[in-house]
Amino acid sequence: MLDKKTDAVLRLLINDVGESYKVINKNQLLAKLPARLKLDSQGLSGIILFLKENDYLDVKYQDKEEICLATTVKATSYGENEKNIVQKANIPALQVTFLIAGTFLAAFFGALVAVFIGNLF
């Protein structure tokens, strides 16, 4: 699992670049990222280097202004796997109450039937 900044950069690159090589201006890439991430050019270069070393990106060349890169199959599968995360079910409190009460009543009547059958023999 990637941190928030790396995840945001990777998702942006998956959407903008794809699996074919494309030349991207770093300043335009930084402008597309949310301001709350507070990334600068050096931070972006570090994230791209990290993604390259972990086989999420394939970089042909990189200079101060531009970078030529393509995303790999690993990056695409990461984006697809994050979409398939199972979320916890939201069960209303009233429904939980009925489930607990129903379980209790079923156990009580089951024990009552067992005692009744035990007394017959």
Q: How confident is the model at residue 47 (pLDDT cuts 50, 70, 90)?
A: very high
Q: Looking at residue 2, what is its pLDDT? A: 82
Q: Judge if 74 and 15 occupy the same domain.
A: yes
Q: Looking at residue 114, what is its pLDDT? A: 93
23 in Cβ contact with 68 (< 8 Å) = yes
Q: How far is residue 57's CA from residue 94's CA, in Å, rounded to a whole number?
A: 49
Q: How many domains does the chain have?
A: 2
Domain at 57, CATH number: 1.10.10.10
Both tokens of 118, joined, read 């035990």
68-83 pLDDT tens trace: 999 999 988 887 766 5
Q: Looking at residue 80, what is its pLDDT? A: 73
Q: Bigger pLDDT: 39 or 80?
A: 39
Q: Judge if 79 and 96 occupy the same domain.
A: no
Residue 86 has pLDDT above 70, yes or no: no
pTM of the model: 0.64
Q: Judge if 25 and 66 occupy the same domain.
A: yes
Encode 85-108 in three state secondary structure: CCCCCCCCHHHHHHHHHHHHHHHH
Mean pLDDT within 75-98: 76
Q: How far is residue 98's CA from residue 76's CA, in Å, rounded to a whole number?
A: 44
Q: Judge if 13 and 56 occupy the same domain.
A: yes
Q: Judge if 21 and 76 occupy the same domain.
A: yes
CB 27: neighbour CB atoms within 10 A?
11
Domain extent for 44:
4-83
